[in-house]
Amino acid sequence: MSQDDESIEEPEMDVPGPSTIHLDIAHSTTTSTRSVRSRLDFSSTANSTVIPSSTLITARQIEKITAAARTEDASVLAYIIMKYCPNVVREVKRKITDDINASCKNLCLRNKGSILHAGRQDSCGMMINFSFEKLWEEMETNIPFVMEILNAITGVEGVEPLRLLYSERRNIRLLHVDGDRRSQNNFTTTVLAKNLEDAIAVAFHYQDQILFWTDVSLGKILRKSIKKDSKVEIVVSVGLKRPEGIAIDWVTKKIYWTDSHLKLIEVVNLDGTQRSVLFWNNLDQPRAIVVDPSHGYMFWSDWGEKPRIVRASMDGTGRRNVITTDVKWPNGLAVDYKDPRLFWLDAHKDYSRLESSNLDGKNRKKLISSSLPHPFSITIYGDRVFWTDWERLSIESCNKKTGHEKWLVKDKIKDLMDLQAFESERQPDVKNSCAIGNGGCSDLCLLAAGGNHTCACPTGIVLLDDSKTCEDGPQNFVLVARRTELRLISLDTLDHTAIVLPIRDMRHVVVIEYDPVERFVYWTDQDLHLIKRAKLDGSEEQIVVQAEVKYPEGIAVDWIGRNLYWSDTGTDRIEVSRLNGTSRRVLVSENLDEPRAIAVDPGEG
């Protein structure tokens, strides 16, 4: 609410004698014309309004103010602050609260009490039917900065205590800061996920209270509910090598990540479905990644041979370099959603610094250009920047506009990695153009710059001419067998990314075959001594033949007659069955010495 819109009426201050002051306070809401009016009586003496600003607030007076903020007196306290400390009100409205405590030292306090804390004359009956909860709700609705004033005076800098998520490889912790953030005595730490392998990047979906992280040793993206002691769930388990950066689009519920080894940037739904490659070329060592759904942008850092910070639309279009000069190892990235700016850390020993710029890379500003041994990850909350430092094993902070007021948040954290401010303001409400009917898309609906969205398809699948519907799977592709996995390379799309098929428990795959009619892929496994099949999406996985199978090294599909042929070097036989494994019989068992490859030509019989 602006100063011009202030709905607080001037108080009626009747002084019938030297002992009583009446405050008549009216509050009105923007959603209702109803006013809540309360008439409160407090004992005091006359002429007890404002004392000189040079008078200091004592510990006892601070204690009284704190007590007032927790009782019915809080509404009166807030009103008097607004009435007698207009400089504080102006500062809070402008979001300049660093010295708010000092600015209100002329708050109506006297040596012998004040109109706030002298004994109330409840016997007059003025307190009957008074509802503090209703009155305070009105004030909180109409004057949100009142809470900031009260919290600042009582030693709390924000309405919501600060919570920082950080990873330390084996654990992910939540650092809860309640009170003065410069005192580690006000910190408590909770373990959210423990006994991990190598957790690097962390992210979260605030509304759903879900924690996400990448594990570079396991090559997986995992998640866990924060609300309860739930089990760890695997989101992406195949086709990852070194996922170092992760970001959550909280609006359409997507995960974006970088893989520095595979040189890819991908996106997937929060549950791991409909995975799609967005960028696959001109990537050297992509690391940190952030998204800005309010503008439809994504940013990532690349500290390869040509270090840079890149911006693109969240649908994978409009790629452009925004920072290319005076940068070496761009490590952490963060976007300030309240005052749109891009922040980053450079970890190179000769370029170690904290910088910010407009979202287009212009108006670049160095906040800290020294004393950062090895900064790694960065986040924003309120008017502060927070970052981790590998060498100092610390979380540190400074003012986001000036780089000043730097202080140590917490130190002695071994294996410290990523950092996120776990607060609702880090995922603000944004218009979701995909909300209605998935934006008209058959599969993925991705936000785009300018408040738009684009329909997209899982990797290897083509979007049809209506720009909304995806083809029913890849039409032209190559299947590749590796020892413990099957890969599909689509020839329909330009990226030719090898997609690892989501099939479990593959020990020693030798050969593969494909049935284009029912779209089953078949393979032999020499360690498991069997032949199996599954759909390309990993569904309907089943054993076709297992009994009396030793080393099946050749396999062929008769797509016309609907039969399966295979050779076995262990039994020295060539056999046939229906495609589902029934009606099995031996075709050749004599004069064979380790038969291997086999092929059929159904057209010629």
pLDDT band of 177, cuts 50, 70, 90: confident
Check whether 230 has a pLDDT greater than 70.
yes
- Least Cα distance to 480 among 471, 490, 472 occurs for 490
Nearest-5° Cα angle at 195, 191 to 197:
120
In whole angstroms, give the CA distance from residue 354 to residue 402: 11
> Could you state, in order of their start, the residue ranges of all structural domains in the chain?
59-82+131-157, 162-426, 477-588
Confidence of residue 162 (pLDDT cuts 50, 70, 90): confident
Q: In DSSP terms, which residues pair with 520 in a beta bridge?
A: 515, 535
Cα 148 from Cα 88, distance rounded (Å): 10
DSSP assignment letter at 10: P
Mean pLDDT of the chain: 78
Mean pLDDT of 24-53: 29
Residues 6+ apart with CB under 8 A from 558: 564, 565, 600, 602
What pLDDT sits at residue 369? 87
Phi/psi of residue 262, nearest 5 degrees:
-80, -10
Both tokens of residue 161? 């205590």
Lowest mean per-residue pLDDT among 130-139, 309-318, 513-522: 130-139
Using alpha carbons, list the distances in angstroms from residue 355 to 10, 144, 290, 379, 465: 46, 31, 16, 13, 43
Where residue 574 falls among pLDDT bands split at 50, 70, 90?
very high
Would you call 199 exposed, middle or buried from its count of C-beta atoms within 10 A (0-12, 13-18, 19+)? Answer: buried
pTM: 0.71
Q: Please compute the mean of the pLDDT values over residues 19-44 and round it to a whole number.
A: 29
Query: CA torsion sign, 350 to 353 to 359 to 362?
Result: negative
Domain 162-426: give its CATH superfamily: TolB, C-terminal domain (2.120.10.30)
Dihedrals phi, psi of 429, to nearest 5 degrees: -65, 130
Res 554 pLDDT > 60: yes
Q: Structure tokens of 554?
A: 């050749």
Q: Tell me the C-alpha distance between 119 and 239, whole Å.
A: 71
Residue 212: the pLDDT is 98
Q: Closest Cα to residue 252, out of 271, 280, 265?
A: 271
Contact 445, 252 (CB under 8 A): yes
The per-residue pLDDT for range 529-542, each reduced to its tens digit, is 999 999 998 899 99
| pLDDT of 161 | 67
Q: Is the model's pLDDT at 238 over the cut of 70?
A: yes
Q: What is the mean pLDDT of residues 395-410?
A: 91
Answer yes or no: is pLDDT of 160 > 90: no
CA distances from 579 to 281, 409, 541, 555, 562 (A): 40, 64, 13, 11, 6
Which residues 6+ apart lie within 8 Å of 456 measured at CB? 267, 276, 315, 316, 441, 443, 444, 445, 446, 463
Residue 495 tokens read as: 């990226």
Place of tokens 């595979």: 262
Across 159-179, average pLDDT: 83
Fill in the amino acid letter for 314.
Answer: M
Lowest mean pLDDT among 158-167, 280-289, 473-482, 586-595: 158-167
From the list 60, 36, 46, the residue with the least C-alpha distance to 13 is 46
Q: Which amino acid is at 256?
A: Y
Q: Is the pLDDT of residue 103 over 90?
A: no
Find the angle CA(80)-CA(82)-CA(86) to the nearest 5 degrees.
Answer: 125
Contacts of 429 (CB under 8 A, 6+ apart): none
Q: Which tens digit of pLDDT belongs to each residue from 412-442? A: 999 999 999 999 889 999 999 999 999 999 9
92 closest CA partner among 138, 148, 136: 148
pLDDT tens digits for range 332-380: 999 999 999 999 999 988 888 999 999 999 999 999 987 889 999 999 9
Tokens of 454: 């684009």
Rounded (10°) angle between helices 86-93 and 73-84: 90
Q: What pLDDT does 179 receive?
A: 57
Choose the weakest-confidence range: 183-187, 496-500, 529-533: 183-187
Q: What is the pLDDT of residue 78?
A: 52
Percentage of the residues of the chain whose pLDDT score is greater than 90: 60
pLDDT at 203: 97
Residue 538 to residues 75, 131, 504, 533, 558: CA-CA distances in angstroms?
A: 61, 61, 8, 9, 22
Bigger pLDDT: 293 vs 24: 293
Answer whether 275's CB lies under 8 Å from 290's CB: no
Q: Give the residue, 39 or 429, on which the prediction is more confident.
A: 429
72 pLDDT higher than 70? no
pLDDT band at 271 (very low <50, low <70, confident <90, very high): very high
Are residues 155 and 178 in contact, defined by beta-carbon separation less than 8 angstroms? no
- Model confidence band, residue 180 (pLDDT cutoffs 50, 70, 90): low
The sign one gets for the Cα dihedral 543, 545, 546, 549 is negative
Q: What are φ and ψ of residue 79, in 5° steps? A: -65, -45
Mean pLDDT of 75-83: 50
Q: Is the pLDDT of residue 210 over 70?
A: yes
Q: Residue 603: its pLDDT value, please? A: 86
Dist. CA 22–CA 39, nearest whole Å:
7
Amino acid identity of 578?
Answer: R
Q: Which CATH class is domain 477-588?
A: mainly beta
With cut-offs at 50, 70 and 90, classify the pLDDT of residue 455.
very high
